[in-house]
Amino acid sequence: MNKPIHALRPRTLAVAAALALGLSGLGLAPATARAADPAACRTVHISDIGWTDNQVTNALFSTTLDALGYKADIKTLSEEVTYAGIKAKKIDVFLDDWTPSMDAITGPYVKSKAMQQIGPNMTGAKYTLVVPTYLYDQGLKTFADIAKFGKQLHYKIYGIEPGNDGNVHILKMIKTNAFGLKHFKLVQSSEQGMLAEVARLYPQKKDIVFLGWEPHPMNVNFQLSYLAGGHKYFGPKEGAAAIYTNVRYGYVQACPNVGKLLTNLHFTVQAESAMMNDILNKKMDASVVAKNWMKAHPAVVKSWLSGVTTLGGQPGLPAVTKAISG
């Protein structure tokens, strides 16, 4: 799928600045600063589908928005409801479009001009089926090997929440008997529920195959190996992935200042993994984790805010720096 980049710089303040200088020469001052975005853009409607990496990116984005004078309205929704909301113009932003795994879901929305894609906001990610390395060393190294270990696996593959694209791929493989998986059952729960089962079985070196991805602390908490051969479903190179930002169609044109911020946002696997670890293992609040990380990485924050202003039209970087310094 071609990934169009839709970005629009916020309207220039040059005319307003010149006017301000002219008025000051007359002993006058402009009544108000020129708004960077229309008032209708003040509330930004954001989807959170319950993944920890999505919590991290939403926390970073909303912390920045709040400091700029916007209001972040984050709603917890499923993947399916998220895209229905984008199409209905009820959701403005979703920061966690994993490609190529989600291409079958997002493609029709892009084609019908219900949605635009920005990015990628991250490269170097991974998403596919994984096993503990002790099982990989026994010979379960590819999708084609799963059926050979059926009895040991109790003919189960563990997924996350129903409707997730990864689950959809697994269900399709089972239905079509891809890789000889017709006797398998998908166990659907949630990210937390799936990983709780991994944590239960892993110390006993019991066999399990499940959805795995990076960034995520699971790659540190467990010694895992990503399975090869699933490129038709999860992409090549053991699920190599890029993550894109999705917005409702026309959003960056209607709200160019937020659009510029979204275009600037870039995350790394290492940074997200560290923040996810603070949330999952240290039980820290996502907003606190985001603020702490931003404070410790001023150069990254500066890059996000290049060409971005507050809602009232003032420089964005000083406002955000002040907000996160407290």
Distance CA 74, CA 57 (A): 12
Q: Which helix (H) or strand (E) holds 248?
A: strand 240-248
What is the predicted pLDDT for the residue at 57? 98
Per-domain residue ranges of the chain? 40-123+242-325, 126-240
Give the integer Cα–Cα distance in Å for 144 and 30: 70
pLDDT tops 60 at residue 137 = yes
Span 57-73, average pLDDT: 98
Q: Taking 80 as the threshold, does the pLDDT of residue 7 lie above it?
A: no
Q: Residue 5: what are its φ and ψ, rounded to 5°?
A: -105, 115
Q: Comparing C-alpha atoms, which of 256, 238, 293 is closest to residue 9?
A: 256
Per the model's pLDDT, the better-predicted residue between 326 and 310 turns out to be 310
Tell me, which fold does domain 126-240 have in CATH?
D-Maltodextrin-Binding Protein; domain 2 (3.40.190)
Sign of the CA dihedral with 242 first, then 95, 98, and 119 last: negative
- The answer to whether domain 40-123+242-325 has CATH 3.40.190.10 is yes
Orientation angle between helical segments 165-175 and 103-111, nearest 10 degrees: 110
Give the mean model confidence (pLDDT) for residues 296-318.
97
Compute CA 281 distance to the chain's CA centroid, rounded to the nearest angstrom. 20
pLDDT at residue 296 greater than cutoff 70: yes
* Spatial separation of the C-alpha atoms in residues 130 and 172, rounded to whole Å: 18
Could you check whether 40-123+242-325 and 126-240 share the same CATH topology?
yes
- Amino acid identity of residue 147, one-letter, is A
Could you tell me the pTM of the whole model? 0.85
Question: For 193-214, how does the pLDDT look when each residue is reduced to its tens digit (9 = 90+)?
Answer: 999 999 999 999 999 999 999 9
CB 176 within 8 A of CB 147: no
The mean per-residue pLDDT over the stretch 166-191 comes to 97
Angle CA(214)–CA(216)–CA(217) in degrees, nearest 5?
135
Q: What percent of the chain has pLDDT over 90?
A: 88
Task: Please check the confidence at residue 159 and state whether its pLDDT lies above 60.
Answer: yes
- The whole-number pLDDT of residue 35 equals 63
Q: Kindly calculate the radius of gyration of the chain based on its CA atoms and give it in whole angstroms.
A: 22
Q: Can you give the pLDDT at residue 30?
A: 37
Average model confidence (pLDDT) across the chain: 90
Res. 276: pLDDT tops 60: yes
